Structure 1
């Protein structure tokens, strides 16, 4: 950032604002991946199974996805800073409950439900405040770059940090760590000033919120049921799809009646934004799916402990950090579309390397090259995808698009853990690892196609090709 004023605030003040916003994204992403290296420790301590821990992780990610859209809408009514602080408080309480949980049920209450709801309330304000406070394209791009990078680092470094804490102290201390970071974010958030006043007259669409949440929950639960009951899986998936269709018809009917829906249907008519959200969904699906699959395989099949598993994941963290640090330089030279496509090509290549090298070698370091390439690819495209979506709409729709965008990303995270985890658990000792990774590579191809369909020229709200774009 330069020393100039942005949106009427000095750059130094904006830097202070960016720290808690980036930390908030970091801790929420960390929470989604750090449990992957605690599978053995937690399942033994809580008297449950690998599938039980997978369920807790998936529910956490699912609750985030299901309530992210309502969370984004509530920021209009109650204000962005207030929702941020309330979300942080709920998250902190959930982390403390998780730390003392005596069984899987209490863990799901603290980690999956309360931390999930807290995240759904605090993440939309992070992206809305960034969009509103950083007015010029360069500073906004760098801010999104820092926040997206911290999110990716949180997800990639979660296994390493979680493994260190679990081995040195206990898996319960990892939740204490989260609570401490939450307190720090609350303290740092005193620098934040909401640029727009709350609108108490804003109507909240309760019916739409229920329909969207139930639909998303049923779809993911259907995937989780795949290894238990085929017809239950089909039933849940069909009912979930019907609920989501009902949700769309509901919001369209409210618009036609000139009432305020949970989401404007105009959000779904922006082709560039839709493609950007597909890439976001696939990025997080592949990242979280790979993280769970590799971590579970290392611990259950190879017998590695939490710290050994976390150290192996350092390769992914290094790759993601390198691409994140180089994001601004890449954006100056390449278009958004190019970065997204290159990211998917590298990510798919990383998965192929993970399949081939792990199949041919019993060394734990056989995972390193594939994880590094995958991490580098994910880091390369996280920021362009976020900025493409956020910048496709004006200030008046930032609450809605932030909630929808984050919901789509977190739905990808929950689907990644559910799909890859289910395939892995079913065939853990009979080719489940390879099957799960091949599935993730195929999904990555979907993201690559979506990236190829993004406009070649200028994306609305972003710099033209060859100029300084999002970092």
Structure 2
């Protein structure tokens, strides 16, 4: 893969300063808290459903809606980031997120929880995440430096997703599930304080046009598709209808984009983004990685709580295995990037993850102890951690600076859509009956998806492995 050259100004900015830890810290923490929010509720399913007098399916809807709002609004969020400035959108997104977290903490019912957690936190995330990836790409122009930066960010994101069940379980058991949202608001406050060190390397472009119709079409299409998956356990005809309408809306979106370009106008996303084969394959692998991570998290957490009777903290402790695996492999991203080509890393990650799913399937019936799940979860954590950073690097490095807003929004949208679909698919299978049969069926389906991701990774172009440094 050829990495496009960047402007000299960006290079000078990067080379004139030491490794900017003070800048990287708030960016990595921002990714951590958003990933944490997407997974920590899986161990609170029973507590929230009992406290708010709702069902497991109701909590699943709240979780999936949060992920879906992120996916639907991430593309417009990337465009707004370029229009109003990366640091400004980061701070505004954090503020909206913090308000949503506090509202969730005092929610008297499921409706307010969905408003605070699913809507406000989702909107805040869609505004704050694109700046994280755009700033990282602009500040770190060398492949290994960018891998190091993305490695730190993706490590924190992976830790947030994998450790969410453990931290959420500890907070829920020690205090209350509501305290977990107070914790999120506190972390957001810390990030806002740390963000004062961020220096936006490019000025905002207030004259940049915004394709409102395109934003509505893309968001509506994504929402309808995921709603269709969620409806599978209630009404097959409703599922088919929503999927069909959602697909038609997305087709209309792409037709609108082409029409805008033919007319010489600026669409929400240029078709140029979809003509890059390497980037397209990278986006597929990103989507699949987050589908697997969130799908496994929901399946195993539901199984442990509903079938095995584990409480929030017990469920979280079991998930420590995936957290350790993901942390260990993510922190090695810079070293891996120096020694292996990115295609190899992504393929290895999928292979290890699928093996982990196989271990979960094989060992779950062997013993009544939930600890038999830890080897499989460890392998899944290791596999996902190995491939998160190279997949992001493949996509972000496929385009020049002027398209970083669009590709960052598209990249994060595809990843969060994977999280939404993973949770929706797993929930659809388990909600009716979370016993061993549906549990195994959900894991088999995730393994098949993982093999599809491995196939996509195998088609990534080969590049010479970076020279090793002494």
Cα distance, 1:28 vs. partner?
A: 0.2
- The CA distance in 1 between the partners of 2:336 and 2:87, in whole Å, is 33
1:219 aligns with 2:225: yes
**Match in the other structure for 1:167:** 173
8 Å CA contact retained: 1:5, 1:11: no
Equivalent positions of 1:62-461 (< 5 A) are 62-429=68-435, 431-457=437-463
- The CA distance in 1 between the partners of 2:349 and 2:190, in whole Å, is 33
1:134-185 residue CA offsets vs partner (Å, 9 max, x unmatched): 2222322211110011111110000000000000000000000000000000
Judged with a 3 Å threshold, the aligned counterparts in structure 2 of structure 1 residues 6 and 137 are, in CA distance, closer, same or farther, namely: farther
**Match in the other structure for 1:466:** 466
- The CA distance in 1 between the partners of 2:16 and 2:401, in whole Å, is 18
Cα distance, 1:326 vs. partner?
A: 2.2
- The CA distance in 1 between the partners of 2:225 and 2:343, in whole Å, is 30
8 Å CA contact retained: 1:6, 1:136: no
Cα distance, 1:468 vs. partner?
A: 6.3
Judged with a 3 Å threshold, the aligned counterparts in structure 2 of structure 1 residues 307 and 430 are, in CA distance, closer, same or farther, namely: closer
1:195-252 residue CA offsets vs partner (Å, 9 max, x unmatched): 1111111000000000000000000000000010111000000000000000001011
8 Å CA contact retained: 1:6, 1:134: no
1:59 aligns with 2:65: yes
- The CA distance in 2 between the partners of 1:389 and 1:359, in whole Å, is 40
**Match in the other structure for 1:16:** 22
8 Å CA contact retained: 2:148, 2:333: no
- The CA distance in 2 between the partners of 1:403 and 1:325, in whole Å, is 25
- List gaps (5 residues or longer) in structure 1: 458-463
**Match in the other structure for 1:460:** none
1:44-94 residue CA offsets vs partner (Å, 9 max, x unmatched): 001011111111000000000000000000011101111101100000000
3-state SS, counterpart of residue 47 of structure 1: coil
Judged with a 3 Å threshold, the aligned counterparts in structure 2 of structure 1 residues 323 and 295 are, in CA distance, closer, same or farther, namely: same
- List gaps (5 residues or longer) in structure 2: 1-10
- The CA distance in 2 between the partners of 1:170 and 1:440, in whole Å, is 32
Q: How many equivalent residue pairs? A: 459
**TM-score between both structures, scaled by the size of structure 2:** 0.96
- The CA distance in 1 between the partners of 2:250 and 2:319, in whole Å, is 36
Cα distance, 1:303 vs. partner?
A: 0.4
1:250-281 residue CA offsets vs partner (Å, 9 max, x unmatched): 01110110101000000000000000000000
